A and B are shown apart, each in its own frame.
Chain A
Amino acid sequence: MFADIASSLWSLLAPLTLLLILFSSILGIILGAIPGLSGGLGVALLLPLTFSMKAEVGLAMLISIWVGGVSGAMIGSILLGIPGSPSAIATTFDGYPMTRNGQAVKALGAAITASFMGTFFSILIAMVASPAMARLALKMGPWEYFSLGFCAISLVAALSKGGVFHGLAAAALGLILASVGFAPIDGYPRFTFDSMYLASGFDLIPLMLGLFALKQIITDFAKGEQQIPSVDVSDIKGFGVSWQEYRSNAWNLCRSFFIGLWIGFLPGMGAALSNMVAYAQAKSASKHPEKFGKGCVDGVFASEVSNNASVGGALIPMVALGIPGDGTTAILLGGLMIHGIQAGPLLFSNNPEIVYALFLTALISATLVLLVQFYGMRLFPLILKIPYHYLYPVIVVLGFMGVFVGSATAFNFVLLLGFAALGLVFDKFRLPVSPFILSFILATMLELNLRRGLTYTDDGIWPFITRPISGGLLLAALLSIVLPYAWPVLKKWRSERTARVA
């Protein structure tokens, strides 16, 4: 293990690689800070650039953008009240009021240090826990893998905005879209209509770029958005947070950290959910909950440590099980596959240098992000001033070239535009994108394991239900779908019963 770590570290400390990590971390911060964009978009945009790189270098670039993006999302939240990405929504609740109260320095300082703590310690835990998880995962059969994937999709669909039916419909659309092309096991061409373009199914890159980048550009242009309003940076000096404030928030930081780590670890969850849960917990456990929402530093600590802890948490299932923890790790997983590396239990024995390079990159990137953010606090508002008429043409060109370089076919332009249109349809009809992408990515794994599970024994679907882990996961999936409907009914019944007794 230590030899693998040393070997990975040595390759990452090469000056050119280190420079690439620094550049990518800064790019991630910039993308994370710009509302509507995110580190995830950066990972999707730059994934094609890594095709011709060495696997470790390409992945280092993608991981650094991700780490920078999650951390950088707080800049827009604090300075403008506009979250750079969903992972920093809760940061806005107290970060922006702090800026309005003249405490922008303290808010930024708290967010920067909390972000660093979240990423750094979650990665350390992921490094230690992932091998154990991988050993456990090796004992899992196709029944457990199917149930795990199914549970992840159900949880995301159930927690999505718009209701359970909307979430499940989006998930079903993802499964259907992934069915196009050659089926696993027998290679039967499904829904290809004798077209050679459809034979290999739909590519992930046009799907991601269409749904996020192009759709966002069309939406922003339609709304007439030009540029983010200017920001006063006159009071930005140092970190501005006292040791007393760190000490008084020690328990808040610990609790929020583990919430972020756990939610990040759950397949299909991620920073977008963890910051909200951690903020809610911090508020409910606080001695002064009335201060929350009016500029309380505790809320910034909770949100930022949790969303960054999700980075390490999300890496655990991705590395150990081959299941993405959130949308960005799904793209990273795609990146691994493109480089011919199969994430999952065997990754530790087959490619240990890749695993440790992945973790070490995140640690290096987190440290660089801390330094860049500390020294760059005065520059962040300038980045937010980039007008859309300079920013969006570059994204359009990178999007189109990104889908072209993978396959060198103009058919991918059609897919890119088609997925952008699909994104607009999803917005129009309030269909959530997360379960769609998650099920699209997990579909092949789900189908393969479902069919394997059905053929390995003569008991049909029963092992899926009777095996403890598989059954438990299916039960969790079922509860996640049923509870949003059953809970209000139960609450009403209980309150009526209490009223009758009284």
Chain B
Amino acid sequence: MEERILSSNKWLGLGLLVLSGVGLYLTMQIDVRTFNDDPGPQLFPAIGFGLLLVCALGIFFSKAPQEPARDNAQARHIEYQRGAVMAGFLVAYSIGLWLVGYYIATPLAVYGCYHLIATAERRVVWRGVLYAGLVTWGVHLSFVSLLKTLLPVGILWG
């Protein structure tokens, strides 16, 4: 376990090192004429990336604390898979909102989310459908009817 944390520290250190290197390079490209001893807009990002560089080195060379073993590799693999499914679902919902808008994407997404999270023994299709309709209508009521704000209409129709 300790080796795994140490390894993650190394990866984090390396990643931050690359990020700070690229960032410092981009910061150096900022070229602005300033007055009254103003250090200009490059100082602050330079401080940020400089601090990140120091921390990257610190993390890379630091010894990570030992933690008790959490779970086995197979359980972790299933966890990652489930996480990827939910992340994919959220990406799909955002694409749906962008393409077809709120009124089509949201009921589908609410039912989809209900379907995903509820296990087979808890899942009742008509309840999910009813719930999807109620949530879509409730959010519409709050945002459009009460607060007079816009909801996504979708680029395919707009």
Binding site for B on A (CB under 8 A): 48-49, 51-52, 163-166, 168-169, 171-173, 175-176, 179, 183, 185-186, 188, 190-191, 214, 217-219, 221-224, 226, 387-390, 392-394, 396-398, 400-401, 404-405, 408, 410, 413-414, 416-417, 420-421, 424, 428-431, 443, 446-447, 450-451, 454-455, 458, 460
Interface residue ranges of B19-77 to A (CB < 8 Å) = 23, 26, 30, 32, 34, 36-41, 43-45, 47-49, 51-52, 54-56, 58-59, 62
Indicate if the CB atoms of A173 and B52 lie closer than 8 Å.
yes
User: Interface on B for A, CB 8 Å cutoff?
Assistant: 8-9, 11-12, 16, 23, 26, 30, 32, 34, 36-41, 43-45, 47-49, 51-52, 54-56, 58-59, 62, 79-80, 82-83, 85-87, 90-91, 93-94, 97-98, 102, 106, 109-110, 113-114, 116-119, 122-123, 131-132, 135-136, 139, 142-143, 147-152
User: Known: A52-B148, A185-B38, A393-B131. Contact between A176 and B80, CB under 8 A?
Assistant: no
Structural contact, B119 and A226, CB atoms closer than 8 A: yes
A165–B62 contact, CB under 8 A? yes
CB <8 Å contact, A221 and B82: yes
In whole angstroms, what is the CA distance A48 to B8 when docked? 37
Chain A residues with Cβ under 8 A from B142's Cβ? 49
Once the chains bind, are B149 and A52 in contact (CB under 8 Å)? Answer: yes
A-B contact pairs, 16 of them (CB 8 A): A49-B147, A164-B58, A166-B55, A169-B16, A179-B45, A221-B82, A221-B117, A222-B83, A224-B82, A226-B119, A392-B113, A396-B109, A404-B151, A405-B149, A447-B44, A458-B37
Residues of B within 8 A of A414 (CB): 94
Is the Cβ of B150 less than 8 Å from the Cβ of A408? yes
How far, in whole Å, are A173 and B19 apart by their CA atoms in the complex? 10
- Chain A's closest residue to B23 (CB) is A176
Which residues of A have CB within 8 Å of B39? 450-451, 454
Contact: A190 with B86, CB < 8 Å?
no
Query: Which residue from A185, A190, A393, A443 sits with its C-beta under 8 Å from B30?
Result: A190
Cα distance, A392 to B135, chains bound together (Å): 11
**Residue among A214, A421, A451, A460 with most chain B CB within 10 A:** A451
Residues of A contacting B: mostly: helix
Q: A414 to B91, alpha carbons, bound, how many Å?
A: 9
Assess A168 versus B117: contact at CB under 8 Å? Given A222-B82, A424-B83, A454-B38.
no
Q: Measured between C-beta atoms, what is the minimum distance from B105 to chain A in Å?
A: 9
Using CB atoms, name the residue of chain A closest to B16: A169
Which B residues touch A421, using CB under 8 A?
87
Q: Are A429 and B8 in contact (CB under 8 A)?
A: yes
Which residues in B have their C-beta under 8 angstroms from that of A214? 90
Question: Separation in Å of the A458 CB from the closest CB of chain B?
Answer: 7
Bound form: Cα–Cα A174–B75 in Å:
33
Given A190-B45, A389-B122, A393-B131, verify A455-B36 contact (CB < 8 Å).
yes
Kindly name the residue among A176, A183, A410 whose own CB sees the greatest number of chain B CB atoms within 10 A. Answer: A176
A residues near B51, Cβ cutoff 8 Å:
168-169, 171-172, 175
Q: Return the contact of A413 from the options B40, B55, B98 (Cβ within 8 A).
A: B98
Q: Quick one: which of B23, B87, B102, B123 has the most chain A CB within 10 A?
A: B87
How far, in whole Å, are A151 and B142 apart by their CA atoms in the complex? 41
Q: A172-B48, A173-B52 are in contact. List 11 more A-B contacts (CB 8 A).
A: A52-B147, A169-B56, A175-B51, A393-B135, A397-B139, A400-B94, A401-B139, A405-B150, A410-B97, A413-B94, A451-B44
Beyond A165-B62, A168-B55, A222-B80, is A394–B135 a contact (Cβ under 8 Å)? yes
A148 to B16: give the CA distance in the assembly, Å.
Answer: 27
B97 contact from A169, A221, A394, A400, Cβ within 8 A: A400
A52-B148, A190-B30, A454-B39 known; A226+B55 contact, CB < 8 A: no
Taking the closest CB of chain A, its distance from the CB of B58, in whole angstroms, is 4
Complexed CA–CA distance, A168 and B118 (Å): 39
- Output the nearest chain B residue to A396 by Cβ-Cβ distance: B113
Asked if residues A51 and B147 are in contact (CB atoms below 8 Å), the reply is: yes
Nearest to A217 among chain B residues (CB) is: B86
Q: How far is the CA of A416 from the CA of B135 in the complex (A)?
A: 20
Query: What residues of A have a CB within 8 angstroms of the CB of B102 in the complex?
Result: 401
Identify the closest chain A residue to B140 (Cβ): A401
Minimal Cβ-Cβ distance residue in A for B81: A222
The answer to whether B44 and A443 have CB atoms under 8 Å apart is: yes
| Residue contact B110 to A417, C-beta cutoff 8 Å | no
Given contacts A219-B83, A413-B97, contact A401 B151 (CB under 8 A): yes
A417 contacts B118, C-beta separation under 8 Å: no
Is the CB–CB distance between A176 and B43 below 8 Å?
Answer: no
Partner of A405 from the list B114, B136, B143 (CB cut-off 8 Å) is B143
Q: B52 to chain A: which residues have CB within 8 Å?
A: 169, 172-173, 176
Given A392-B117, A396-B109; A175-B82 close (CB under 8 Å): no
Which one of A173, A185, A190, A390 contacts B114 once the chains associate, using CB atoms below 8 Å?
A390
- Which residues of the partner chain A approach B23 to less than 8 Å between Cβ atoms? 176
Per CB-CB distance, the 6 closest pairs between chain A and chain B, nearest first, are: A222-B83, A183-B41, A165-B58, A389-B118, A169-B55, A175-B48
CA distance A451 to B39 in the complex (A): 7
Q: Are B97 and A226 in contact (CB under 8 A)?
A: no
